[in-house]
Amino acid sequence: MVHQVLYRALVSTKWLAESLRSGKLGPNLRVLDASWYSPGTREARKEYQERHVPGASFFDIEECRDTASPYEMMLPSEEHFGNYVGRLGISNETHVVVYDGDHLGSFYAPRVWWMFRVFGHRTVSVLNGGFRNWLKEGHPVTSEPSNPEPAVFKATLDRSLLKTYEQVLENLQSKRFQMVDSRAQGRYLGTEPEPDAVGLGSGHIRGSLNMPFMDFLTKDGFEKSPEELRAMFQAKQVDLTQPLIATCRKGVTACHIALAAYLCGKPDVAVYDGSWSEWFRRAPPETRVSQGKGGKA
């Protein structure tokens, strides 16, 4: 593995609170609430309007995606992403800190962390412990809307961090990349349905391993230590010195695999953006494994 100095992928609630207290929020430091919840459960934007980290802007992943795609949560274009985050006061020089309000401690924040990285931005961090621990520790919140001065962000797609359907299909033959699926075991095996999904069966891409993303987090909602994460990859016989593709249902929790590997010193995990929602609808049936049949469709 090539050793390089990696930008810190995590910042602590204490660090962020001190940064806000010392007036560092501005063009050089922006905070984003990237919460998203299944329809009919919680309302992310409403909760943001009621309380958020002071100065944080709401990153609406429903707006910052390819709305023309038939698949879920696909990346927007470079221009779309650049314009969207520029309106949030983010330039190519800004340190971006992302959090969400999920009870797990982190759910959608790693997706936005990865989106910035795939569009060429390296100075981005996830708030370790999320809004859950920000509240628990008694840090300040506000209902005041943030009105950051718009900035210019030039997005440049880093294709090495992104995999397409065609590339994953080719990989079934070449096996150049290891592939890890971050969904819960039942959905991966095909023994439990995909939640809130119409016409989407469960199962996994042939040859992929399963590492449920929740296992990367402690019960208190913090990221596990690099030592614990390395042991988890080793237990699944995932070689972090070799190429790795992360997949899930719609390219969101796959980013937890990318983040965990990054914390172990591997910054080059590629995410299959279409993931299972695309694979199920496009791939040959023999490449879809369901009902725990061990690779035989």
CA proximity to 210, closest of 246, 172, 173, 260:
246
Among this protein's residues, is 248 annotated catalytic?
yes
Q: For residue 153, give the DSSP letter.
A: -
- What is the b/e burial string over 136-156, where b = at least 16 CB atoms within 10 angstroms of the residue's CB? eeebeeeeeebebeebebebe
As a whole number of Å, the end-to-end CA separation of the chain is 35
What distance in Å separates the CA atoms of residue 250 and residue 20, rounded to the nearest whole number?
Answer: 34
Catalytic one of 64, 248, 255, 264: 248
Residue where the block lists tokens 């401690």? 105
Residues with Cβ within 8 Å of 289's Cβ and at least 6 positions away in sequence, in order, are 190, 203, 204, 205, 206, 295, 296, 297
User: Which two tokens mark 178?
Assistant: 């290891």
Active-site positions read 248
